[in-house]
Amino acid sequence: MADTPATKQVVLVTGGNQGIGFEIVKKLVAEQPTYHVLLGCRSLSKGVEAISKLEKLAGSVSPVEVDITSDESIAACVTQIEREHGKLDVLINNAGIGRHAVEELPSLRAKMAALFDVNVFGTLVMSDAAIPLLQKAADQGSVPRVVFITSEMGSLGNTLNPSWKYYQHNTSIPYKSSKAAANMIGACYSTLFEKTGWKINCCCPGLRKTAFNNHLSVAMDVEEGAVRAVYLATLDKDGPTGTFTNIDGTEPW
Ligand SMILES: NC(=O)c1ccc[n+]([C@@H]2O[C@H](COP(=O)([O-])OP(=O)(O)OC[C@H]3O[C@@H](n4cnc5c(N)ncnc54)[C@H](OP(=O)(O)O)[C@@H]3O)[C@@H](O)[C@H]2O)c1
């Protein structure tokens, strides 16, 4: 055990090899010298390649393989973290897919199933599997934190608001439903762990230029998409829990 000095906080970012997840990893590595960041990736080669872009940063980072659609992969990831670090202080549930990833699938049912497999089932199973490791961090005096990267697209309040900027995009039912379900997972966990002082929050990164949307020209710069997640990942015991926010403030559930 103990690749990580006991004083280091251990953070897992799922889907950390590209897009918003990579920016979250980069920001944590650049700004948090007392953290060890585990860059979650579906293939180690992608993780190693992503980490090679962080060489100039002083912080500490290593790859860990995890495909959240596989119970075996999640179990192996948790076992590896337990063996090498003995605990997990922060889980950032970032891995997710959007409609472009499923557009080749033959039916609405198949698209919906694929989206839910990653954005909902994977997110819940990953979170559930990480709880014992988060508890180990709590036993050592840490404040466990879980961040759910969901989306304003998953907000019921936004969806029903005719003045909302994406009111016309209410046709994206499979993705929007998956992110509403992910918000529910975050909300439930926040209540279940409220009394123990864990900080469990959902956030929307905003529309960011990534592979997720084929680098949509009107989307915003990806770097800033990490800001809210990193804030929530670095909360202390006085920080909020059970919130749903974006970089500018509160999102309606
Ligand atoms: N971009 C936006 O405008 C936007 C807006 C709101 C919310 N979000 C949310 O932000 C999160 C990150 O999206 P992004 O824009 O950064 O997308 P991205 O650039 O496509 O990155 C997604 C990451 O998730 C990983 N991933 C996909 N399926 C996975 C699985 N089964 N197991 C583990 N990892 C998996 C990908 O791995 P590979 O590299 O191997 O494919 C990649 O590392 C998602 O949850 C998304 O819903 C994005």
CB contact set of 58 (below 8 Å; sequence gap of 6+): 29, 30, 33
Per-residue pLDDT reduced to its tens digit, 25-64:
999 999 999 999 999 999 999 999 999 999 988 899 999 9
CB contact at 8 A, 40 and 16: yes
Domains delineated in the chain? 9-250 (3.40.50.720)
Which of 210, 213, 217 gets mutated to test ligand 1 (max ligand atoms within 8 A of its CB)? Answer: 210
pLDDT in tens, the chain (253 residues): 445 666 899 999 999 999 999 999 999 999 999 999 999 999 999 999 999 999 988 899 999 999 999 999 999 999 999 999 999 999 999 999 999 999 999 999 999 999 999 999 999 999 999 999 999 999 999 999 999 999 999 999 999 999 999 999 888 999 999 999 999 999 999 999 999 999 999 999 999 999 999 999 999 999 999 999 999 999 999 999 999 999 999 999 9
Nearest CA among 229, 235, 236, 234 for reference residue 203: 229
175 is catalytic: yes
Ligand 1 closest atom vs CA 153: 6
Measured by CA distance, the residue closest to atom 17 of ligand 1 is 212
The number of C-alpha atoms within 13 Å of 235 and in the hemisphere containing its C-beta is 24
| Contact yes or no for 127/189 (Cβ under 8 A) | yes
Q: Which residues does a 6 A CB cutoff place in the pocket of ligand 1?
A: 14-15, 17-21, 42, 46, 66-69, 94-98, 118, 122, 149, 151, 204-205, 207-208, 210-213, 219
The helix/strand/coil state of 146 is: strand
As a whole number of angstroms, the distance between CA 97 and CA 95 comes to: 7
